[in-house]
Amino acid sequence: MRIRRVLEQGSVGSDVTVAGWARSVRSGKGVTFIALNDGSCLGGIQIVVGPELHNFEAVARLGTGSSLSVAGKLVESPAVGQRFELVAATVTVYQDATPDYPLQKKRHSFEYLRSIAHLRPRTNTFGALFRLRSFLSQAIHQFFGERGFLCVHTPIITGNDCEGAGELFRVTTLDPAALSRAPGGVDYSADFFGRATGLTVSGQLEGELFALAFGDIYTFGPTFRAENSNTPRHAAEFWMIEPEMAFADLAADAALAEEFFRYLCRRVLEECAEDMEFFTAHLDRGLMERIGKVAGTKFQIMEYGDAIVQLQRAKVPFVYPVKWGVDLQTEHERYLTEQVADGPLFVVNYPREIKAFYMRGNDDGRTVAAMDLLVPKVGEIIGGSQREERSDLLQCRMVEMGIPPEGLWWYLDSRRWGSCPHAGFGLGFERLIMYLTGMENIRDVIPFPRTPRHAEF
RNA sequence: UCCCCAUUAGCUCAGUCGGUAGAGCAGGUGACUGUUAAUCACCUUGUCCGUGGUUCGAGUCCGCGAUGGGGAGCCA
């Protein structure tokens, strides 16, 4: 039986069997206590082992990390610290953990735990984190499923070289030695796909094609960027959520983003309470209050132009100067969401020069229908836009930005027949987890992170 | 990729003015009928990241390199 179920539904006096890993073994002369954890919940269960057990001596000497199963009777605990405890009738040891087990009964640094990423799921923090990650993943599918969105699996291997969202990882079966020797460039027509291919940097373009058939769709899958970014917010492999809605404008897009974000805040507070309390106590004292506030607040909307005015009026000094036309830096975003809005804030209608080719041009001729959702402590967490559905304007924009239209002929085809207004946004899954847990490094919210020079495990 | 910081026991860290290193935890032995990262007593543990230099002498100062972290850029 899973320990979580025992603690939630177990009745005093019942016989139960649990299996897990010892977090702590405390031995007195006549009694040994084992804190047993099976990953189903943060707390684990206290096992009481008495000297009448035939293997009491061996059990009393077990090390932290040992795997064992325990059959016994559930009783009310006479001591404070837990409601129930399990009085062992039999203890079966699968394997003792020797003293060289890298996880000790003490606090370890996140840096050290990263170096033993194969073992860190057995710690409190990473247990709570990966339970929350799993829950959140399912909640995202539920959110869209309940609203009739189609889940689409966009390709991971792509031939698009010009999505404009970062460096591509090459995918090839050509001999690396021959590649470097190729005179006058590599002949990709001889490659596996008969063309140059790479790992996807976004499923958006394919997502749009499905939105123009199914109406409301979303993707939730892995994404790859070969940027040499060494920061706590970047990974070479991460997961992204990208909904897309046909017959929707920017306002509808922002409304969906708000509903989505508040839904997820509410769900983790309600259903990951124990783990959220752990994060609040150990990582970020203001966490649950902040998430709760977001879950219950109507988000504000501000024009980019007004945001610039607000920033120019600000009494605080910014490292990066502000004027109409510049992109907002994290320091600007945080000022707007923390000082001006004091809560989540959409900034909409950005200058077209600083945004992607597919964003819909506004009538003023100098802005596009883009939106960023800014949240306190982080800055931008969601970026989206209404897409340019007018074929001629889209092609003009691609030419202006140096993107060869012929490479995206199929994308442009979607604007040839039955084009319609549509909009969508993207949310980095790991950044969402960081926001919801207070974890400050993306390498600590992915099971086995891939970053420059790191592909271990 | 650029800038800054760090690297000392299995882990977390201290190490003064340049004089061959020491705390806690872990581990070992013992004590304790109920502990909560148990407690108490005693004991063990070192390529001071590597490399070159300065010096009578370098964990400590200087150069180069490696690794890690933070900031910036890019972005999700």
DSSP state string for A93-121: EEEPPPTT-S--SS---HHHHHHTTTTGG
A147 pLDDT more than 80 = yes
Lookup: nucleotide whose C1' is closest to A201 CA: B76
Give the residue among A136, A377, A358 at the shortest CA–CA distance from A260.
A136
Please tell me whether any atom of strand B lies within 7 Å of the Cβ of A60. no
pLDDT of A72: 95
Q: How far is the CA of A331 from the C1' of B17 (A)?
A: 43
> What's CA A109's distance to the chain center, in Å?
21
With H, G, I as helix, E, B as strand and everything else as coil, classify residue A265.
helix
Closest nucleotide over all strands to A427 (CA to C1'):
B76
Find the mean pLDDT for residues A131-151. 97
In whole angstroms, B10 C1' to A95 CA is 20
CA atom of A406 to C1′ atom of B18, Å: 69
Evaluate if the CB of A61 falls below 7 Å from strand B: yes
SS3 state at A328 = coil
Q: Which nucleotide C1' is nearest A237 CA?
A: B76
What's the CA gap between A302 and A176, in Å, rounded? 51
Distance CA A200, CA A168 (A): 7
User: H-type helices in A23-148, by residue range?
Assistant: 56-60, 110-115, 124-146
Which residue is it, tokens 């590599």?
Answer: A186
The yes-or-no verdict on residue A161 having pLDDT over 70 is no
> Is strand B less than 7 A from the beta carbon of A78?
yes
Distance separating alpha carbons of residues A390 and A420, to the nearest angstrom: 8
Contact of A264 with A136, CB cutoff 8 Å: yes
Show which positions of strand B are touched by protein (CB under 7 A): 1-2, 10-13, 24-28, 32-38, 67-76
Tell me the nt nearest to A28, Cα to C1'.
Answer: B32
- Look up residue A324 and give its two tokens: 């109409």
Place of tokens 């752990």: A278
**A453 CB contact with strand B at below 7 Å:** yes
Asked if residues A202 and A168 have their Cβ atoms less than 8 Å apart, the reply is no
A222 touches strand B (CB under 7 A): no
Is the C-beta of residue A124 closer than 7 Å to nucleic acid chain B?
Answer: no
Over residues A28-52, the mean pLDDT reads 90
CA of A156 to C1' of B61 (A): 53
Q: A402 CB contacts (<8 Å, ≥6 apart)?
A: none
Contact A149, A260 (CB under 8 A): no
Asked if A64 CB < 7 A from strand B, the reply is: yes
State which H helix or E strand residue A346 sits in.
strand A345-351
Asked whether the predicted pLDDT for residue A61 surpasses 70, the reply is yes
Banded pLDDT at A357 (limits 50, 70, 90)? very high
Contact flag, residue A185 CB and nucleic strand B, below 7 A: no
CA of A289 to C1' of B28 (A): 47
Helix A250-271 vs helix A273-282: crossing angle, to nearest 10: 90
Among A45, A32, A55, A52, which residue's Cα sits nearest to residue A6? Answer: A45
Residues 371-390 of chain A with CB under 7 A from strand B are 379-383
Point out the nucleotide closest to A51 (alpha carbon to C1′). B33
Mean pLDDT of A239-262: 97
Res A163 pLDDT > 60 = no
Alpha-carbon gap, residue A248 to A216, rounded angstroms: 9
For residue A357, what are its two tokens? Answer: 């080719």
pTM for this entry: 0.93
- A363 pLDDT band (50/70/90 cuts)? very high
Say which DSSP state A454 is in: B
Q: Which of residues 223-262 of A touch strand B (CB under 7 A)?
A: 225, 227-236, 238, 240
- Shortest CA distance to A224 belongs to which of A182, A164, A166? A166
Average pLDDT over residues A388-395: 96
**Two tokens, residue A217:** 């769709």
Mean pLDDT of chain A: 91
Burial A136-175 (b: 16+ CB within 10 A, else e): beebbeebbeeeebbebebeeebebeebebeebeebeeee
| Distance CA A109 to C1' B49 in A | 19
Query: Shortest CA–C1' contact from A30: which nucleotide?
Result: B33
Instruction: Report the pLDDT value the prediction gives residue A450, as an integer from 0 to 100.
Output: 94
CA quadruple A435, A255, A154, A150: dihedral sign: positive
* CA distance linking residue A238 with residue A223, whole number of Å: 5
Q: Is the CB of A120 under 7 A from strand B?
A: no
- Scan residues 332-361 of chain A and list those with Cβ within 7 Å of strand B: none
Q: What was the pLDDT predicted at A423?
A: 97
Cβ-contact A195, A152 below 8 angstroms: no
Distance A231 CA to B71 C1' (A): 9
